[in-house]
Amino acid sequence: MADAELLGPLRALAALLPEAAGIQSEHLGKVASQLKAFESEAVISFLKAGEKCLGKLTGDTVVMLQRVLAGTRAVARDRKDFIETDDGKAQSVYELLEKYDTDKDGILSRSEFLSAATILMGDDAMSPKDLDVLANQVDKNRDGSIDIHEFTVWLYTEMADNSGDKKSEPPARSKENGAPPLKDVEKLNEKLEAMQAELDTKSRALAAIETRHEEEIDASLDFWRGIAKNSVLTIDSKIDLANSTWLGNGKFGFVLKATRLKDGREVVVKMMGLRWAHLAVKEWQHGSTMGKHANLVDYDDVMLHNDDDDQFERLLKKGYAEGKLKSRQKRTAFPDRYICLTQELMNRGTVQDWMDDNCLFPGGILDVMQKVAGALAFMHKKGVTHNDIKPENVMLHQEDSSTDNAPVTVKLGDLGCCTKSEDTTADYWQYGMTAFCMVTGEKFGARKYRAELASGFCDECERGLKAREVPGSLGASLSKVPDLMRRIYPKEVTMSEVHNEPLLQGWSFFDGSDLVSGLQQSLSRTMTLHMSNMNDATARHACLHIDAIDE
């Protein structure tokens, strides 16, 4: 690759250095809040790839990248742009470095730094021996010179120490053994603490990278252990493949509904060729290692299928012939090995399906809010963020389909955008917008969320609920939802507190079903309608992001 082609990637790598985290921009928060789920995932993938690349670079190369970054650090928001020296002139860090860089090589040699320090601090501020100690402390990368990054850190620390005291006489030195006075020792300690704080920041950033790497390794090992344990000649030893039903296909594989032989329970089975093993590992990491929760879609098993008898290939060809599977070009070849992931089947579609049919009941709004908050509280406790909360990703299941009003289980699904992160901001505003959409009937994503618009969304909910005039205690609880949202958007409450909020307790999915406006069908017919929609919903939420694009 030509040197010119490397400039862009090198700038991007410099921006990924741990010390770059201190650089702020008023535009970053706005951009982050407007990212779509797939864009957020792309940014996280870029970050991880960059961190791995940094880990492979030599120390000398990293030092050079730090010097690239220094040009940005000097104008960080929390820093002053100019330094006022003893001669009363305000000069930038770069002007000062160039002033003392006598050989004009862009860095200060040890002798150049000692000369600069003597002039800037005062001739009698430190002895030559103490100046040598200081030079060693400032030269953090131990390369024998002081770059703009190191000079900036020292200079701001030194000037902050001397601000308001520039014109005072330097303290007298102790005559005993030439030792510096107590004040000079304190100054050195303060400088050491400042440098130690920056070193600690870098160490924490490195530890975070190592932790994420170890988690990925552990997840990969667990995945392949599961594969080894459940390696089967044919998948029909685990599921009833002959009587399975196609749900759809996407870029990375195929999804079908089948009956699990050991207990007769219906499950979703995702089949991916070995070329997509890295995606299967990622999904398995989030779906299985986080642990089970009553309101999270359950990941069940991982297997390796050997299609030597072409049974699965024949099933695929039949699916294409019947139009249940689609591709842009006619398939002529199929993999002979498949990674198979199974997860529980949610047979009542999604909250968005019920909203689209104008029959999400008032009690269902409160029930969904309570259950999703519980799922998020569990994830946040595990240090995981969902990052893609919306009505389409809240799935429903009814165990007893023979009874119309049998209890409905609410579960948060689609863990493909999950990340290991302490920043839960996206989860909070997405949860708030999900509540907004359930109350107003508006499609999620029709309007972009911005923090300054949150109050307006809450006001719209309040007006909409007043117009619906839901009676009794159900109406009283619904009327308090906008006030709860006003605390959720700015993260004034935890998801655990939302889950335990009194106004959300004790409601079932079908409470208020007689109040749904425009509902002409009987409840039985409504349930039949959602059964007919179930296949499409399940296919969308088998974590394949079904897009009718074959591999």
Q: pLDDT of 491-538, one tens digit each?
A: 999 999 999 999 999 999 999 877 764 433 334 344 444 444 444 444
Look at residues 494, 495, 427, 488 and name the one whose alpha carbon lies nearest to residue 457.
488
CB atoms closer than 10 angstroms to residue 395: 27
Kindly state the percentage of the chain with pLDDT values over 70.
Answer: 65
What mean pLDDT comes out for the span 7-35?
Answer: 66
Provide the pLDDT for residue 352: 93
123 Cβ neighbours under 8 A, 6+ residues apart: none
Provide the pLDDT for residue 20: 64
Q: pLDDT of 109-119, one tens digit each?
A: 888 988 888 88
Question: Is the confidence at residue 103, as pLDDT, over 50?
Answer: yes
- R_g of the chain computed on alpha carbons: 31
Q: Between 197 and 511, where is the model more confident?
A: 511
Measured in degrees and rounded to the nearest 5, phi and psi for residue 543 equal 60, 25
DSSP string, 181-219: PHHHHHHHHHHHHHHHHHHHHHHHHHHHHHHHHHHHHHH
Residue 227 near residue 250 (C-beta atoms within 8 A): no
Strands 266-273 and 253-259: antiparallel
Q: Return the residue matching tokens 């889950």.
A: 499
Residue 139 near residue 66 (C-beta atoms within 8 A): no
72, amino acid identity = T
Q: pLDDT of 218-227, one tens digit each?
A: 666 566 656 6
Residue 345 near residue 255 (C-beta atoms within 8 A): no
DSSP string, 253-286: EEEEEEEBTTT--EEEEEEEEGGGHHHHHHHHHH
Provide the pLDDT for residue 125: 76
Question: Is the confidence at residue 312, as pLDDT, over 50?
Answer: yes
Q: Return the residue matching tokens 């296919």.
A: 539
Q: Return the residue matching tokens 């994830």.
A: 379
Look at residues 286, 297, 390 and name the one whose alpha carbon lies nearest to residue 348.
297
